[in-house]
Structure 1
Amino acid sequence: MKTKHEIVEDTSLWEEVPAQISDSEVLVFLQNKEIDWRYVETIKKRTDFNDDVIGDWLNVSPKTFRSYRQTENKFKANVQEHILLLLALMKRGIELFGTNKGFDQWLNTQNFFFDNRRPVMYLTTVSGIRFVNDRLTAMEFGDNV
């Protein structure tokens, strides 16, 4: 028997999240929707990142992260925001690079513009996600990032 959360397809969640989202849009989105485990599953289905990596980004222990799979457990507001911004970043990166593999490779390659660190290391904070997103914007408009 499928739960209510399993019925919603990954595609509909992927399409409802904009690839670029402003702070005011984040606030409105979070007021109108509850970011739950389905959004994490959407990230996992559209990328090669696993529970451990995503849990690290969200700064939650593996045990806590697994407990969120249960439908009665809800993410705190700051974690919901973090998930929403991660999903929007993944969507934008995949659109820009053409494939999740290309974006994943870029995220995991040391980069001069990230102080010779891998961009993926910046995804543990909201400001880090915004910084990576800014670099994607620079690439989109011709910067060699």
Structure 2
Amino acid sequence: MATKKRISTSGKVTPKRTSAFAEPAGQLYGLIKNTEPATKRAIEILKPYQRSLRSPSAKLIAIKNGLDSHAISDLIEITGATQMDLAQILNITEPTLRKHIKAGKELNTGLSEHILQLFQLFDKGMDTFGSLEEFKSWLKHESIALSARPVDVLDTMTGINMVMDELIRIDYGITV
């Protein structure tokens, strides 16, 4: 995996994460030219959710207030999932998913929490693998540690936490 770098607004280049949540709120960082367009786009999509994921209390407030229904469209774009696949992951029917997208209202706490967890997971996955496409590819392959494909356990908070734990182990070079 290539060294990841960031360019601060002052122009200084330093090795760093490709995470959208790694930097303090309000401070924007550019990406090195060789970052793939899908990863750049994903980071841009995740930026509005940055403050919600900075701390457990900020996350709780965002969950209780409910995410805007546009978060579903953002999740579809980042994951590349179909509406049917995303409905399965979120444990709702496809018609219900479409109603949420069209309604333009705040999502309930359960959906808001699930979506925020998935945003955080995809951010961590891009950080671990260096690109969105690499992470999405990894999600589709059997994991010995999980005894499943990571994508198949994203329908529960426990499953998302297990995948997050596996990404942390990968970061530290601890693989099964």
Band of TM-score, shorter chain: 0.7 to 0.9
Contact kept, 8 Å, 1:35 with 1:80, in 2: the verdict is yes
Unaligned runs of 5+ in 2: 1-40
- The alignment's TM-score, normalised by the length of structure 1, stands at 0.79
Instruction: Name the CA distance, whole Å, in 2 between partners of 1:10 and 1:108.
Output: 18
SS in 2 for 1:70: helix
Instruction: Name the CA distance, whole Å, in 2 between partners of 1:143 and 1:26.
Output: 29
From 18, 28, 43, the counterpart of 2:61: 28
The corresponding residue for 2:160 is 129
Kindly state the Cα deviation for residue 21 of structure 1 after the two structures are TM-superposed.
6.0
Residue 24 to residue 138, structure 1, CA distance change in 2 (3 Å): farther
Q: Which amino acid aligns with 1:27?
A: L
Residue 11 to residue 94, structure 1, CA distance change in 2 (3 Å): closer
SS in 1 for 2:103: coil
Unaligned runs of 5+ in 1: 1-8
Question: Which structure 1 residue ranges, 4+ long, deviate > 3 Å from structure 2?
Answer: 9-13, 20-25, 71-74
From 138, 143, 158, the counterpart of 1:111: 143
Indicate the structure (1 or 2) with the bigger Cα radius of gyration: 2
From 96, 101, 107, the counterpart of 2:133: 101
Instruction: Name the CA distance, whole Å, in 2 between partners of 1:105 and 1:78.
Output: 27
The corresponding residue for 1:76 is 108
Higher percent of residues as strand: 2
Report the identity percentage. Answer: 25
Higher percent of residues as helix: 1
Q: Which amino acid aligns with 1:108?
A: K
Please provide the CA RMSD for this pair.
2.4
Instruction: Name the CA distance, whole Å, in 2 between partners of 1:131 and 1:39.
Output: 23
Q: Which amino acid aligns with 1:62?
A: E
- Equivalences, count: 134
